Amino acid sequence: MCFLGILIIFLIILLYRDLKPHNILLHNTGHAEIADFGLSADTRRSGGMAEGFCGTRAYIAPEVFQKCKYNKAVDYYSLGIILFQMATGMDPQYACYRNRFGFLKNVSPELQDLILKLLCENPNERMRFVASIRDHPFFANIVWSAIEAGRIPTPINLVSTNSG
């Protein structure tokens, strides 16, 4: 669902630039919602590019640290960091060592591949991957049209049915 939230943001040509677990909220219906658009950039007039150092250090893509102009690839890098953190239970600072020390050895090969491709250092390669991300084996059982139409129940529902 977080992935779909990012897609929706990009439909309106925003760079979010601060994707991290603290900005992903769980709605009482069980859906994830992205909050705090304070660092977002509207890139419609700049060809989809932004510049400037902003975001939360542990989730920032390499191109932001290099003070280069960047595009929405930075948000997908942040998503890769979040997935690394969720899959390993490790602090995001260890994601830079993802290819060493076997941090991903207990993660399914499909999720490993997804994380490594989202954390690709080259933003152009990252965006080429993202262009076909829905076809990635990790998402093999996902019926995207059903999710987008809201026909898939969430695994958790926080709405109280108790009237007392």
Please give the positions annotated as active site: 18
26 bridge partner residues: 32
Work out the angle between the directed axes of helices 73-88 and 109-118 (0-180°, nearest 10): 140
Q: Which of 151, 147, 152, 140 is nearest to 114 (CA)?
A: 140
Q: Which of 83, 132, 78 is nearest to 108 (CA)?
A: 83
